[in-house]
């Protein structure tokens, strides 16, 4: 298709918005190994998952056949409140860099939750409502996911209980207020509302909590009630599916203007945003229709793909979840306390892991001082204060654009800008003050993490 | 024009974006009385203002003739980074209210500064650059204006010094970090960098500062340097002019879909957002082309139009500025410390004041508990956490929509949603905790404020 003049921002019209999610698994030649029940080491069945997750989400989790899955009209109605998100041509950044490359980014931060998380929160809340449930529950660390879910729960009329890591709820009291404004009940974790919480409190009376503990409390609340289910914001296949709305919008917008990306870049924590961004483009690559260079960017402080192992591991640090085959640093791995850039998850989405393992994409790890340098540069040239997570993708996009400047190549680069930096200003403060250190784990640090990977036959 | 189906969000294309600002003064039958030099009580000339403001801004300030003023291409380039802002059809709010009214809002919060302030920051920074200046300076209280200006200064390559009220810079350290990320120098005020600051520090060593003091420091910095000018974010006519980009976009979008507003509502602090929103619609009303009901909404805690006097008064509490003829509570008036809803300015834009005085619009005052109730309702139904300031307009829009529900009238309501509530979560916390009180000044409180209005012949 002939290329048209591209505006600063491409917004799809409502008619052009995607009506289907792209189920990347159905396009893959090889499926990731199934989740395992940690007690039996047998593949998890839908029945295993039913006390925890909503039925429709389980069906999507296990669906490897249907390439396109309809987005229910109710969810599309919710999406219309804050989508389409703009696909931005980074004219100002290109000019500042003096690169012949064309740079585009898909900005997911223009909604009150501040990130892409809302795409799956909306879907999961809807399916809970559809199933006739009264309430949902989840955990949150920094609060981004909890905020997104509180917005979705308010919209669909569900009660929501968020277990928020206690130290976060104390350090980020305002995140809690957003959730409360949307009607969520926010409980600092560990709490005395669950057996798991009471046990931790008895053992460690002064603890500030952990994500693992908050997950345990939320899952307990879900499995001990018929009318409540647990909702997760990343890693799982159905979350990647919901996030494919990002890639679907990108593809429609780019085709409309005849833009063909050479490189697609996304930051990788749990992998759902990256998986969603690349989904339809990767499906085409697997079918031999393009040769896009897909780059997942992770922090050098938490390098699950570039330095991790491909093994079965727990999804949580408390070792309560099913085992997933994924790139992992070990469920006991903790990034250095100096690490301020987010993307702290020890593992990686099984879908993204399989793609990486099979050579369909590459991964790079970047140091946080370089990430914040890119964030500041981007803020000043493009006018958006990016989330530290998203700034990993910015860093790599700038690096690729500068390579083009050297070689004179006019590549087309697309990256995902997943969120805003409004709620990460303590990290920006450290950068502005010059007190931010790079924190790369030593081989000994990694070995300690690897020791927490379960020693099961499947990992031999 | 026939009415088309209206999407949730109307985005103008780049080609449709306005190329001119609307100079409302040129459409008015009667001009507001001129600013007066407080020493001579004579009208301020351009030469009086030249040491303080940029030349182009002064020209615009005094221009009552040209109805349409071209937006320079460089400013339109900046606007393209974050504009057009969406004109949103509040389908979800209408449904929740069960009103036959159609409700629209123009959302100015989708940019990193979080508000409409950026529209004038961009223009004023550009004009400073065009004049060959090296630096600009301003004051900021809560930090919204300082953030907007730091973004504009970074884009146009100007040094920026922001005098931030000391107590705010301590209570809102993260606002300061956004400005620092954009390269601004943020100085807690009072400071030892100016004679005005040193004088205050000597008199009141432990003071947390005030906006009046911060203004004095910034103006001093400007007038003592040939290459620096002072920049103001509201009240003045040229700021209203720049903010007319809001109304221009609204008018183009509404005409495109055949939408004719019956009521236009905006919150009023200094009046620049309201003046900008209504500009082209009010021009048509003055010319007899429509009969729109314009409503300016102010806090009951700071009711400059509904309970103030129309008089010459200082624009700042430190009594250093020219005198403006405006609705005022007296430059010495301070809203109660319990007031959390913003819009704390003692006066009102001279343009808006004149329109109000001449009967072209009405004003209502709303109590903050009702404002936050509307804010929460709006957040839950429309998915956007609104700024407390903007929520004054939401309150009145909901009230008008509920009147339509009673009468069955199908009115079309437009209101300005000027910003997001991300940085006002302490106020939301007070509301969520149930500790928010309404604070309506008594007649005695008002009399105390009125006593600070200068006793000059023009006020007899």
Q: What is the complex's ipTM, to 2 decimals? A: 0.94
Q: Which residues of A touch B13 (CB under 8 A)?
A: 7
Alpha-carbon distance A281 to nearest alpha carbon in chain B (angstroms): 27
Q: Is A185 on the interface with B (CB under 8 A)?
A: no
Selected residues 417-446 of chain A with any CB under 8 Å from a CB in chain B? 420, 422-423, 425-426, 428-429, 431-432
**Domain ranges for chain A:** 30-68+116-230, 76-114+237-459
Nearest to B14 among A7, A173, A383 (CB): A7
Q: Give, in degrees to the nearest 5, the angle at Cα B19 between B17 and B21.
A: 110
Which CATH number describes the domain made up of A76-114+237-459?
A: 3.40.50.1100
Sheet with A9-10: list strands edge to edge: A9-10, A87-89, A102-107, A412-417, A263-267, A293-299, A362-366
pLDDT digits over A424-435, tens only?
888 999 999 999
Alpha-carbon distance A258 to nearest alpha carbon in chain B (angstroms): 18
SS3 B2: coil
pLDDT digits over B156-208, tens only?
999 999 999 998 888 888 889 999 999 999 999 999 999 999 999 999 888 88
- Residue A70: CB atoms within 10 Å: 11
- Residue A74: CB atoms within 10 Å: 17
Nearest to B81 among A8, A183, A375 (CB): A8
Q: Is pLDDT at A30 greater than 70 in this prediction?
A: yes
What distance in Å separates the CA atoms of residue A41 and residue A20, rounded to the nearest whole number? Answer: 34
pLDDT digits over B67-110, tens only?
999 999 999 999 999 999 999 999 999 999 999 999 999 999 99
Testing the interface with A: which of B112, B257, B426 to mutate, by most A Cβ within 10 A? Answer: B112
* Predicted local confidence at residue A87, as pLDDT: 98
* Predicted local confidence at residue B211, as pLDDT: 83
When the pLDDT of each residue in chain B is averaged and rounded to a whole number, the result is 95
Q: Is B108 on the interface with A (CB under 8 A)?
A: no
B82, A422: Cβ pair inside 8 Å? no
* Predicted local confidence at residue A113, as pLDDT: 93
Q: Is pLDDT at B1 greater than 60 in this prediction?
A: no
Q: Which residues of A touch B426 (CB under 8 A)?
A: 174
* Predicted local confidence at residue B2, as pLDDT: 53
pLDDT bracket for residue A2 (50, 70, 90): low
pLDDT digits over A152-193, tens only?
999 999 999 999 999 888 888 888 999 999 999 999 999 999
B81, A383: Cβ pair inside 8 Å? yes
Longest dimension (CA), chain A: 67
**Residue of chain A nearest B177, judged by CA positions:** A429
Q: Is pLDDT at A4 greater than 80 in this prediction?
A: no
What distance in Å separates the CA atoms of residue B67 and residue B59, rounded to the nearest whole number? Answer: 14
A379, B80: Cβ pair inside 8 Å? no
Alpha-carbon distance B419 to nearest alpha carbon in chain A (angstroms): 11
Q: Is pLDDT at A1 greater than 60 in this prediction?
A: no
Q: Which residues of B touch A17 (CB under 8 A)?
A: none
**DSSP string of A75-106?**
HHHHHHHH-SPPEEE-HHHHHHHT-SSEEEEE
* Predicted local confidence at residue A122, as pLDDT: 98
pLDDT bracket for residue B36 (50, 70, 90): very high
Cβ-in-10-Å burial (0-12, 13-18, 19+) of A98 comes to exposed
Cβ-in-10-Å burial (0-12, 13-18, 19+) of B402 comes to middle
Asked whether the whole model's pTM tops 0.90, one would answer yes
Q: Which of A143-147, A305-309, B28-32, B384-388 has the lowest mean pLDDT?
A: A143-147
Alpha-carbon distance A329 to nearest alpha carbon in chain B (angstroms): 33
**Mean pLDDT of all residues in B288-302:** 97
**Mean pLDDT of all residues in A358-376:** 97
Q: Is pLDDT at B233 greater than 60 in this prediction?
A: yes
- Token pair of A444 as six digits: 């000994």
- Interface size A-B, in CB pairs within 8 Å, comes to 106
Q: Which residues of A touch B420 (CB under 8 A)?
A: 112
Q: Which residues of A touch B180 (CB under 8 A)?
A: 428, 432
pLDDT digits over A90-102, tens only?
999 999 999 999 9
**Residue of chain A nearest B182, judged by CA positions:** A380
Q: Is A385 on the interface with B (CB under 8 A)?
A: yes
Q: Are strands A68-70 and A159-165 parallel, antiparallel or unpaired?
A: unpaired
Nearest to B112 among A9, A81, A383 (CB): A383
A112, B154: Cβ pair inside 8 Å? no
What distance in Å separates the CA atoms of residue B72 and residue A316, rounded to the nearest whole number? Answer: 55
Alpha-carbon distance A313 to nearest alpha carbon in chain B (angstroms): 37
Alpha-carbon distance A369 to nearest alpha carbon in chain B (angstroms): 14
Alpha-carbon distance B111 to nearest alpha carbon in chain A (angstroms): 7
> What residues pair up with A125 in beta bridges, in sequence order?
none
Alpha-carbon distance B377 to nearest alpha carbon in chain A (angstroms): 9
Q: Is pLDDT at A283 greater than 90 in this prediction?
A: yes
**Residue of chain B nearest A384, judged by CA positions:** B112
What distance in Å separates the CA atoms of residue B370 and residue A176, rounded to the nearest whole number? Answer: 22
**Residue of chain A nearest B122, judged by CA positions:** A383
Q: Which residues of B touch A422 (CB under 8 A)?
A: 422
First to last CA, chain A: 50
Q: Is B155 on the interface with A (CB under 8 A)?
A: yes
What distance in Å separates the CA atoms of residue B276 and residue B274, rounded to the nearest whole number? Answer: 5
Which CATH number describes the domain made up of B30-68+116-230?
A: 3.40.50.1100
Q: Are strands A323-328 and A309-314 parallel, antiparallel or unpaired?
A: antiparallel
pLDDT digits over A107-148, tens only?
999 999 999 999 999 999 999 999 999 999 999 988 889 999
pLDDT digits over A303-339, tens only?
999 999 999 999 988 888 899 999 999 999 988 888 8
* Predicted local confidence at residue A174, as pLDDT: 86
pLDDT digits over B217-231, tens only?
999 999 999 999 999
């Amino acid at each position: 298709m002939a290329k048209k003049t591209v505006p600063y921002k491409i917004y799809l019209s409502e008619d052009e918005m995607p009506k289907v999610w792209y189920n990347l698994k159905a396009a893959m030649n090889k499926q990731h190994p199934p989740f395992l029940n940690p007690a039996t080491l047998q593949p998890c069945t839908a029945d295993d998952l039913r006390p925890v997750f909503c039925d429709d989400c389980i069906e999507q989790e296990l669906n490897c056949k249907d390439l396109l899955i309809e987005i229910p009209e109710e969810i599309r109605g919710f999406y219309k409140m804050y989508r389409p998100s703009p696909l931005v041509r980074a004219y100002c950044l290109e000019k500042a860099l003096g690169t012949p490359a064309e740079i585009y980014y898909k900005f997911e931060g223009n909604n009150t939750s501040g990130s892409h998380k809302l795409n799956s929160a909306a879907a999961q809340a809807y399916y809970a409502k559809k199933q006739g449930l009264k309430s949902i529950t989840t955990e949150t660390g920094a609060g981004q996911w909890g905020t997104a879910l509180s917005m979705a729960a308010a919209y669909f009329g569900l009660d929501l209980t968020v277990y928020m890591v206690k130290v976060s709820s104390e350090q980020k009291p305002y995140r809690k207020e957003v959730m409360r404004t949307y009607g969520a009940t926010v409980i600092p974790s560990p709490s005395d509302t669950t057996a798991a919480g009471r046990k931790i409190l008895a053992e460690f009376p002064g603890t500030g909590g952990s994500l693992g503990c908050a997950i345990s409390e939320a899952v307990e609340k879900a499995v001990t009630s018929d009318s409540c289910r647990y909702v997760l914001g990343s890693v799982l296949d159905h979350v990647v599916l919901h996030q494919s709305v990002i890639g679907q919008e990108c593809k429609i917008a780019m085709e409309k203007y005849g833009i063909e990306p050479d490189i697609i870049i996304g930051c990788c924590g749990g992998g759902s945003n990256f998986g969603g961004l690349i989904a339809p483009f990767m499906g085409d690559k697997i079918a031999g229709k393009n040769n896009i260079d897909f780059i997942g960017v992770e922090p050098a402080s938490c390098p699950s793909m570039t330095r991790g192992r491909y093994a079965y591991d727990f999804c949580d640090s408390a070792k309560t979840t099913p085992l997933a085959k994924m790139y992992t640093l070990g469920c006991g791995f903790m990034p250095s306390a100096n690490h301020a850039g987010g993307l702290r998850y020890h593992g990686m989405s099984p879908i993204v892991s399989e793609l990486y393992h099979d050579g369909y994409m590459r991964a790079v790890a970047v140091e946080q001082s370089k990430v914040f340098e890119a964030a500041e540069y981007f803020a000043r040239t493009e006018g958006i204060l990016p989330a530290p997570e998203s700034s990993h993708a910015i860093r790599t996009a700038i690096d690729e654009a500068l390579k083009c400047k050297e070689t004179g190549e006019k590549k087309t680069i697309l990256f995902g800008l997943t969120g805003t930096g409004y709620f990460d200003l303590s990290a920006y403060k450290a950068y502005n003050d010059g007190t931010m250190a790079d924190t790369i784990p030593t081989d000994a640090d990694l070995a300690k993490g690897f020791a927490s990977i379960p020693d099961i036959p499947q990992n031999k």
